Structure formats: C-alpha cells, structure tokens
Amino acid sequence: MSTKLETTLAEQIDQFIDLALQEDVGPGDYTSLACIPPDSISKAKLLVKDPGVIAGVEVAKAVFKKVDPAAELEVKIEDGSPVSVGDVAFIVTCNSQALLKAERLVLNTMQRMSGIATKSNRFVFEVEDLETKILDTRKTTPNIRFLEKWAVRIGGCHNYRDGLYDRIMIKDNHIDACGGIKQAIETVERYLYDNKLSLEITVEVRNLVELHEVMDIGKVDRIMLDNFEMPLLVEAIATIDRQYETEASGGITINNVRKVAQTGVDYISVGALTHSSISLDLSLKIIK
C-alpha cells in the first residue's frame, strides 16, 4: 500500500497534501486573500455530475482539516458507494479562504480516485460470480500510486505489487537480459538465498514453449500468461493444472475479461484500471 515499507497511509496522505498545496498555492491564494474576509465561514457541497463509484472522501476530510483544523465534514455518501448525477457526497463547513485553497486539490484527487474506483467496479461486476481476482499493476501516476491503488480497492479489485521491492516478477526483458528462463529463475533463487529474502516469484511466459520450460524448472509461485490467444490460454491453464498460481495479462478489456476468467485462471492483471480510467466529473459549490 505504501511507497516505503515504514510509511503509514496517514503519513502518505499528509505528505501528499503538503506537496500538492505547495504546488498549487505557492506563496498564497491571492484571489481569495484579496476579496474574502479572513474570518469568513462558508458551507459547500460536493456535487456529483457523473454516475459511478465515489472515492476519495477520506482524503478530502484530511485536506480540509489541513487547511482549517476547525473544518467540519458531513459525509452523505461513503467511499465505495454508487453515485448518480445530482448526488451530494458531503457538505463541508470551513473558513472561506481555506475552502477555496483546498477546492482544486480535493476535486482533482476525488475525480481521479472515483474514476479508477468506477472502472475497477465495472471489471468486478463482469466476474463477480467467478473465483478469478482482478489485479492492478504498477502502471500508475508517479508519486500518487498509493492513492490510485487505494481507489482500486475501493472499487472492489485487488492490489498486486506496491513496487519493485515486494515481489519477484521475472518478465520478458529480465529473461532476455539474463540469457533465458532457466538462468533467470536460478539466478533469482540464488539471490534470494544469499540476501535472506523471502519473496514470492512470478515468471512471465510468452508461449507454450516457455511455459513447458518453466514447468520443467519449477521454483516459482505464479506463472503469468502474457498476451495468450484464448485457445492457447485454455491449453496453458490445463497444462499448469493448479500446480502453480496462474495469471493472465495483456490485452484485457471490459469486453473480454469474463471470457478470460472463465478459463479458470486465478488472477487477471489489468493495467487499464489505473492508466486508462476517466475521471468522474465532480464540483464543489458554496451553499448560499
């Protein structure tokens, strides 16, 4: 979940807010400072303008509390809930200058997270009666991976690796750079032993020849079947026969994810959950 193993989610949120406010506000929100009295208090509503799944309400709470410790948030719709056009997710009462300072940060974050949660939820819907789990990938926006992966969970899908440090994933470039599948697996095994590391191992295969090579070698936890056509995917799942965890990846869309899941594959990784989600349209409007 975190970019550093020792960093808590609360600390990440706090760091994110500080950096985001520094980027957006800089030395001051001069428009608000110039035209709004410093002691003014406003009430505003978070208005939903697209149907989907709401996400980021908890982040919004933290943002408003950062800019105004006295801010009060009345949550109408919790994270992970379906929303329709015209719904009000929350009402915030806050110092007016602080409210406008936080407005764009809250909207940008919630729109992005809600878009990811909505897309994730649609993938879950396609396979909800099957045992296959939908995973995200590392195809995330730098420095806000923790928010995007949080949104994936809110939408009902599952997180894969948080980073390069929490699982071994031997992919095509590793195999080619190392000189082959056998060399890559054996070198990884030796490295883990020498460094006293206990990490699960996934190896990617591109065809049935590579699959049989991995099956002969063993020493892995999961086999990733990358860009397999459906007949070959069915054959590969049958060949593995539950001896290892299986994962399908590459070219997975909302239109074919169910067919892929029906092969009996354990996991399907979908980079599009994060890299191709469309933000949900939201607005923050002061209540007069």
The DSSP output letter for 158 is B
In angstroms, the first-to-last Cα distance of the chain is 40
Beta bridge partners of 223: 203, 246
CA 220/CA 40 separation, integer angstroms: 62
Closest C-alpha among 85, 82, 71, 144 to residue 117: 82
Task: Select which of 43, 133, 167, 171 is catalytic.
Answer: 171
C-alpha–C-alpha distance, residues 120 and 97, integer Å: 35
Residues in the chain, overall count: 288
* Catalytic-labelled residue, pool 104, 138, 182, 258: 104
In sequence order, the β-bridge partners of residue 203 are 170, 223
204 as an active site residue: the answer is yes
- Choice among 43, 65, 138, 139 that is catalytic: 139
Sign of the alpha-carbon dihedral angle for 83, 87, 91, 92? positive
139 as an active site residue: the answer is: yes
Q: What are phi and psi of 162, to 5 degrees?
A: -75, -30
Catalytic residue among 204, 210, 247, 266: 204
Contact, 79 vs 152, CB < 8 A? no
- Active-site annotation holds for 258: no
206 among known catalytic residues: no
Q: Which residues are catalytic?
A: 104, 139, 171, 204, 226
